[in-house]
Amino acid sequence: MIVLGVDPGATVTGYGVVAAGGAPAALIECGAIRPRAGGPLAERLLEIFQGLTEVIDRVRPDVVCVEGVFYGRNARTTVILGHARGAVLLAAAARTIPVVEYPPAEVKSLIVGTGVASKEQVAFMVQKHLSLADVPEPEDAADGVAVALCHVFHDAVDRRTGGVGRKHG
């Protein structure tokens, strides 16, 4: 199974591609899509869509996993983040790839052991889980890898338990 994890953002959208099944999970690639700073929102969203579509076409994931919306104090930022998530969802839908969403606290809890982990802690544990020589960079890419690993861990539990005790949707 090839999992594409995405940490959406209007300024930086991080992604990570992880192969899982049979052997320990392995990082295929990770990176960040950086739309032109200061450009109109619609153009930045198009750049996110196009960049992610290129990744999807290159790695052919079985599933796209997206970090859910984080409700911050700034409503405008939350709305813009929602738009970036929409570009990610559209890229997956355009290639008929199923999408699974995970709340940020769940990703952090599964990867680090606490739902309030820092970006640095997440990156460090991603490095450890995948036995990487270095922490994935930029941080947004490490977050994308963490989202992919979250799905890999859930999938492993589901295979062992038949999905008993876990909500799907």
Task: Provide the residue ranges of all domains of the chain, joining segments of one domain with +.
Answer: 2-161
Question: What whole-number distance in Å separates Cα of residue 61 and Cα of residue 95?
Answer: 10
Determine if the peptide bond prior to 136 is cis (ω within 30°): no
Q: Give the separation between CA 33 and CA 14, rounded to whole angstroms.
A: 6
pLDDT in tens, 25-44: 999 999 999 999 889 999 99
User: pLDDT-based confidence at 130, cuts 50/70/90?
Assistant: very high
Catalytic residue among 139, 140, 143, 155: 140
114 phi, psi to nearest 5 deg: -145, 140
How much is the pTM?
0.90
Residue 158: active-site member? no
Question: Is 7 annotated as catalytic?
Answer: yes
pLDDT in tens, 43-91: 999 999 999 999 999 999 999 999 987 666 778 888 888 999 999 999 9
Instruction: Considering the domain delimited by 2-161, tell me its CATH architecture.
Output: 2-Layer Sandwich (3.30)
Q: Is 140 labeled as ligand-binding?
A: yes
* pLDDT value at residue 49: 98
Give the distance between the most distant pair of CA atoms in the chain: 48
Residue 138, preceding peptide bond in cis (omega within 30° of 0): yes
Which pair of tokens denotes residue 68?
A: 């859910």
Supply the angle between the helices 119-129 and 104-112 in degrees, to the nearest 10.
50
CA distance 138 to 123: 9
140 carries an active-site annotation: yes
Whether residue 7 is annotated as binding a ligand: the answer is yes
Which DSSP category does 35 fall into?
P
CA pair distance 164, 159, nearest whole angstrom: 10
Do 6 and 89 meet the contact criterion of CB atoms below 8 Å apart?
A: no
What is the C-alpha separation between 130 and 139, in angstroms, rounded?
16
